[in-house]
Structures are given as structure tokens and as C-alpha cells.
Structure 1
Amino acid sequence: MTDDRPPRPAVLDPDQVWQVVDAQRRSLADLLEDLSEEQWRQPSLCAGWTVRDVAAHLTQQQLGLRDLLATTTRWRGSLDRTIEHAARRHAAAVSTEQIVAEIRAMVGSRRHTLGVTHLETLIDVLVHAQDIAIPLGQRHEMPPRAAATAATRVLSMRWPPPHPATRAVAGFRLTATDTAWSAGEGPQVHGPTAALLLVCSGRVVALPQLTGPGAAALAARFPAPAPI
């Protein structure tokens, strides 16, 4: 029997977004809890960031006005460098157990950092969980519809400033192979939604998962991945 119903929309509503954020936080906390001290010190997919640095950054997804004012007093010349400095300061100040506990404590909360939305919170937890898991050889599931929702936001973002990788993917038609989602115009590039989100976020490690007439040309726009 042929199913003629239209495909289910890829984009999640706010309630669904927070459900995914909660699930990602729980599973990431479980992953982190089992890491050795050596694994906490391993490089992540974020250049110059360790697994510990990225995990500490994920505890800082609920910054209010007072927190942001305190952060600006340690301004490092750009938003990215200031965020990195804040994450490293926190990573150095607390134990691994406290980092895990802080991530778990956010489960069920719908607070997000002042100046961003629930969608940036979703992007952060989806992408940074992979920044931690992939270099460690760990599998961390990313729901396709959540990845599609995040990718839609990444490609349309104006604030916070979009990742430079969004310019690299411009001029290609990105099409998910695991949910009803596509974006852009140009040569076709196909792949799992998680891989498309990672590439749109500058994670070149996901490029080998992409196929289609435009895949080679898209890969050529990125520098070769550094060894992990």
C-alpha cells in the first residue's frame, strides 16, 4: 500500500525543542560521567578546546544580565575569544563531577542565555555534544528533526553572528536523507541531517558522509581536517 501523505515537517516547535535539549543534556551527562581523566583532556572538534573546555561551556547556557556583565569585564577582543576564555576559566575552577552535575541540573529548565533563543540553545547542545563524542570515538545520537531545526536556524542566523561555514555552503542544495528537510539552491548535496548540521557549523569531519553531484565541490571549500 502506497502512503500518499505529505512528509512530516522537519522543524520542531518550542516544546519539542526543549524536550530534545533535555534528552541531549541527560545523555551527554551520562557520557561525561564515564570518561577517564585522560579523555577529559583530549582535544575536541573545536580547535584549541579540550573535551573539558567544551563541557564547561555547555554549563553556561543560562547566563542572565549579571553574568553577561561579568563576562564583558574580561573582554578578549571578540565575542568568540571572550566565550572561550569564560569556558576555560570555569573548566579550571571546578571538578569534572561538578561540570556533570551542572549539566544535569539544567534538565527541565527552559532558561536560556539573555540575547539568544531556545534555538541557539538547541544548536549549542547538539553540535557541542558531537564536538565531545566524535574525537573520543563515542556515539551520541542526534535526532534528525532536531538537527534539521538547528540547521534551518544556523543557515538563517543573523545574531549571534553566523558561523563562517554558512558562506561555504551557500550555492548548494542541501538535502537530508533521513528526514524531510532541504535548504539552498545549486548542486545537490545529500547526507544525514546530523552531518549537514555539523558541516554548516564548520565541522569538516562530517564531510565524508555527504554525497551527490555537489559534494566534492563543497568539500573543496573547506580546509583539510586536522588530525584528531
Structure 2
Amino acid sequence: MDIDEKWRTIARQRAVLADVLDGAPVGDLDRPSLCERWRVRDVAAHVALTPCSPGLPRILAALVRARGDFDEVNRAMAVAHAEWLGSNLAGELRAVAPRRRKPQITTIDNLLFDTIVHVQDVAVPLGAEVDVPQEGARAGADRVWRMGWPFWARRRLRGLELVATDVDWARGTGEPVRGPIRDLLFLLTGRTEAALPGLHGPGVRRLASSP
């Protein structure tokens, strides 16, 4: 994927997320998402906030207050943005969908998989069927496989061969784990419980027994 296609995929995913929110009862926005300690509305607000980043100085100041806990900074900013937006979450997502801005501390490749996964973080607990953009998901899986923090996928999944059944993508060596690229992306990003129903192969036993 070239940069333009990555941005177009991100824009489409933001719009898809807005559609999912429009179809959900208001009370469901407070359901737990697939992200631990994040409500559905918090995840959606995080996606909406990304192109409106408060800037590096404020992020660094928040990191100091959180004693270097980046996850806590991210969550706190998302919660605050969710409360500020209130019932306008879907409208904000549509307004920012085409914006090609990102926080200074991330990359377009990180933003691509982050957006794709977060749409699923909301859709799955709401029972909404949302297909992943397969080329974007494949590029995202490549990026997560290459990176270390925060997922440590290669180390965590050592001894397993991950093979997508719907796109041309395979990584690792060992006991096979096969499934759609969406579920492999869940697995790579630490969403093992959500991934397991869509996976098969000898290596799945190990995943199911992991703490």
C-alpha cells in the first residue's frame, strides 16, 4: 500500500466506526470494548482524537504526570474526549475522517493498524459485523510483527507459525495457527480471547492455555 491508500483506508474506517455508533443504543456505548479498561465510547473517542492531537509538549507533560505510563495517558485523554463529545461521537468521527494529521509520536503505519483494530474493538462487543480492509489488515499485521513494544508479538508468539486463510500472509515457524487476517491481527495485538474463535490448527491449544 502506498501512503495515499493508507490514508484513504484510515478515512474509510473512521466513517465505518461512525456508522457502527449510529446503529448502537446510547447505553451500549458504555459497554466494555475489547481494550481492557476502555469503554466503547472511549475507543471511539481515541480514534476521533488522533487527527486532533494536543501536541507533543502536552503529551510529554501528561507522561510525566503519569510517571511514564503511556497507556494511562492514552486512556485518560480518550476518556476526557469521550466525555467532552458526549452524543456527538459519530458526528466528530465523520468530520475528522479525511484529515491527514497524526500525533508526532507515531507513524502512518502505526495509525493504520491502530484504526483498523479499534474499529473492531468497538464493533465486536456491539455485535456489529464489520469486515476489515484486507490489504490494510495485512500491512498492519506486518507492522505489528516487526515492532517490539507494546505488543512484543514475535517474542510472545515464538514457536508458532501464523498463516492467514483469506490473504497471502504468513509469519513465524512452529506449530501452525491459521485463520482470517482479522483474527490474526487480534492475536498479534494481544486480543487473544477475541481471536481464538476464528483460529484453528495445532498451535491454538497453546494459545488457549496461555495465561
Unaligned 5+ runs, structure 1: 1-11, 224-228
Q: Give the corresponding residue for 1:107.
A: 97
Q: 2:115 aligns with which of 121, 125, 147?
A: 125
Is 1:71 aligned to residue 62 of structure 2? yes
Q: Aligned partner of 1:150: which letter? A: G
Q: 2:19 aligns with which of 30, 45, 70?
A: 30
Q: Which range moved further: 21-30 or 167-176? A: 167-176
Is 1:55 aligned to residue 65 of structure 2? no
Unaligned 5+ runs, structure 2: none
Measured at CA, do residues 27 and 59 of structure 1 come closer, stay the same or move farther in structure 2, by a change above 3 Å? same
1:122-161 → structure 2 map (5 Å cutoff): 122-158=112-148, 161=149
Q: Give the corresponding residue for 1:226.
A: none
Q: Aligned partner of 2:59: which letter? A: L
Structure with higher Rg: it is: 1
Q: 1:16 aligns with which of 5, 24, 29?
A: 5
Q: Aligned partner of 1:186: which letter? A: G
Give the TM-score, by structure 1 length: 0.84
Q: Give the corresponding residue for 1:90.
A: 81
**Structure 1 stretches of 4+ moved >3 Å:** 69-74, 164-167
Is 1:183 aligned to residue 171 of structure 2? yes
Q: Aligned partner of 1:71: which letter? A: A
Q: SS of 2:155's equivalent?
A: helix
Q: 2:201 aligns with which of 209, 212, 226?
A: 212
Q: Give the corresponding residue for 1:168.
A: 156
Q: In proportion to residue count, which structure has more helix? A: 2
Measured at CA, do residues 109 and 167 of structure 1 come closer, stay the same or move farther in structure 2, by a change above 3 Å? same
* 1:76–1:82 CA contact under 8 A, matched in 2: no
- What is the CA RMSD across the aligned residues, in angstroms? 1.8
Q: Aligned partner of 2:19: which letter? A: D
**Distance in 1 separating the partners of 2:28 and 2:57:** 33
Q: 1:201 aligns with which of 177, 184, 189?
A: 189
